[in-house]
Amino acid sequence: MRGIGLLLAAAAAWAQPYDALLTNGRIYDGAGNAWFLGSVAIRGDQIAAAGRLPSAQARLIIDCSGLSISPGAIDTHSHARSGIFDTPGAENLIRQGVTTFIEGPDGGSPIPLAPFLQKLAAARPAVNAGLLTGHGSVRSAVMGSENRLATPAELDRMRAIVRQAMLDGAFGISTGLFYVPGNYAPTEEVIELAKVAGTFGGIHTSHMRDEAAKVLDSVAETIRIGEEGRLPTQLTHHKIIGGPNWGKSVETLRMVDAARERGVDVTIDQYPYTASSTGFAALFPQWAQSGGQKALVERLDAPETRARIRAVVIDRIRTDRGAGDPRNIQFASCGFDKSLAGKTLADYVAARGLPVTIENAADAALEIQRKGGCSTIYHSMNEQDLERILRHPHTMVASDGGVPLFGRDVPHPRNYGAFTRVLARYVREKRALTMEDAIRKMTSLPAARFRIQDRGLIRPGMKADLAVFDESKLADKATFEKPHQYSEGYVHVFVNGQAVLRDGKMTGVRPGRVLYGPGRPAR
């Protein structure tokens, strides 16, 4: 009898008015199904009901007539782990409808993971957050930045670090095989560490070894890591860099399809811009960076080695990240000279009274890197490749951005506009995607990919991460010249059932949670 009484009490509690009710909205369920008119009811941190709810009552009722309701977006490639502590409200994400981010991409992550996750939980961010463990950070912890093979003992130590990270709650392992020290690792090393992550149900994501002339080889390597490592694998921020390589997305996507047909679980993520952003060292050969900045400067002081480095920099300006013009290389921030933010490598050369040639730009690049380098934006991609990759059914949307301090420096506009840009430009304006499919690429696809089983869909029992927006007013305002501009069009955003954005205004509530990967023991 006592058990029946408890069940009746629970049923009575569930029958009470909902905490919040979003009514009369155009509902996109996240799965890619056709939208429908209806309401979404919230109880606690969950979606309690969705559909036509004419008699529903709630403590808070929000009329969404003329608005659209979707699950909150999940950003699977984020660099928010430093900025989230300075700006835990994450307004730039909330105003894009982003309610969850996954950090630790490109091979870089905190080591060990557990203390960072504890610090993140204590910060009480407005959005949810999870982490990958970074192969480059693991390798650096064991071997530093040395350009050599790992010994068997060192490989065992790396396996142990990855294993502990998965137990701590990592969602998988990321690689940055373009970057130092990940670039020094052979594929076989990565496969061995991927196997560890895969044992715990994790994923592998890769900033590939080369996204320019050798992009096809790099896609093949990423697929091989998944196939031989026996875990899902992902081409992260997939792009085609450099004019001579434009159009190769036709073949990279064909390779993805062929791998999937033979049973390899490979997918893609992408940001919707034709410019990338990374360190100025991307212009320099990886072998020259072994041992860090001091060692690089010593190599620049040796005439023969300097000439070799300069030749690579010239080639990368001409055919790679410079796309043939120093004007395509824009400074986001430079520690040694704050005034350079927003200017280009061409501006730097011209300010010294020199003709703007690729050779003079290369000499300037050596000078800049000697001073410590800059955070840099590279305008080196093609719109046709971008759209082709975006339309692929197994591509999800990610930002490759973070949580910048508003007004500081001149960062990539993707920090403020990536998700909104997809819906405004590629759905509403260019009709490259349907709204249903674009939202699927932002919600249920990444949730399924990262095994986040209680988010990404509007379904009873799922967490109430919800975004309400006006399709006609969606606008990514951030530009490369003026990036510190919030997206427009989002009216209400809920995270874990609480309104973080209400009537277009931030509420100050910070209900985000740390999310844990599949390897963490139940607690």
What pLDDT does 523 receive?
Answer: 79
The values of phi and psi at residue 46, to 5°, are -120, 160
Q: Which residues contact 58 (CB under 8 A, 6 or more apart)?
A: 17, 18, 19, 20, 21, 41, 42
* Beta-bridge partner residues of 98: 73
What pLDDT does 522 receive?
Answer: 84
Average pLDDT over residues 276-295: 96
* Beta-bridge partner residues of 375: 279, 333
Nearest to 490 by CA among 507, 478, 472, 508: 472
- The H-or-E segment that residue 260 falls in is helix 249-261
Contact criterion met (CB below 8 Å) for 417 and 426:
no
Distances (CA, A) of 500 to 76, 269, 337: 21, 26, 37
Average pLDDT over residues 405-419: 97
CA distance 503 to 330: 36
Indicate if the pLDDT at residue 6 is higher than 60. no
Q: Work out the number of other CB atoms within 10 angstroms of the CB of residue 372.
A: 13
Q: What is the pTM of this model?
A: 0.95
Average pLDDT over residues 77-105: 98
What pLDDT does 1 receive?
Answer: 45
Contact criterion met (CB below 8 Å) for 30 and 437:
no
Average pLDDT over residues 475-489: 98
Average pLDDT over residues 397-408: 97
Contact criterion met (CB below 8 Å) for 271 and 237:
yes
What pLDDT does 351 receive?
Answer: 97
What percent of the chain is modeled with pLDDT above 70? 97
3-state secondary structure 159-213: HHHHHHHHHHCCCEEEEECCCCCHHHCCHHHHHHHHHHHHHCCCEEEEECCCCCC
CA distance 454 to 134: 25
Q: Which residues contact 420 (CB under 8 A, 6 or more apart)?
A: 95, 96, 97, 474, 475, 476, 487, 488, 489, 490
Indicate if the pLDDT at residue 5 is higher than 80. no
Average pLDDT over residues 444-458: 98
Distances (CA, A) of 452 to 47, 102, 122, 520: 16, 11, 21, 13
Indicate if the pLDDT at residue 8 is higher than 80. no
Average pLDDT over residues 15-29: 93
Stretch among 4-13, 76-85, 206-215 having the lowest mean pLDDT: 4-13
Read off the pLDDT of residues 360-397 as tens digits, 9 standing for 90 and up. Answer: 999 999 999 999 999 999 999 999 999 999 999 999 99
What pLDDT does 15 receive?
Answer: 59
Contact criterion met (CB below 8 Å) for 519 and 169:
yes
- β-strands 266-270, 133-134 pairing: unpaired
What pLDDT does 10 receive?
Answer: 40
Average pLDDT over residues 405-412: 97
Indicate if the pLDDT at residue 11 is higher than 60. no
Indicate if the pLDDT at residue 12 is higher than 70. no
What residue ranges define each of the domains in the chain, with the CATH number in brackets? 71-277+380-451 (3.20.20.140), 279-379 (no CATH)
CA distance 366 to 371: 9
Q: Work out the number of other CB atoms within 10 angstroms of the CB of residue 155.
A: 18
Read off the pLDDT of residues 233-270 as tens digits, 9 standing for 90 and up. Answer: 999 999 999 999 999 999 999 999 999 999 999 999 99
Indicate if the pLDDT at residue 350 is higher than 80. yes
Q: Label residue 124 by pLDDT band (50, 70, 90).
A: very high
Peptide bond into 413 cis (omega under 30): no
Average pLDDT over residues 135-147: 97
Q: Label residue 9 by pLDDT band (50, 70, 90).
A: very low
CA distance 13 to 4: 14
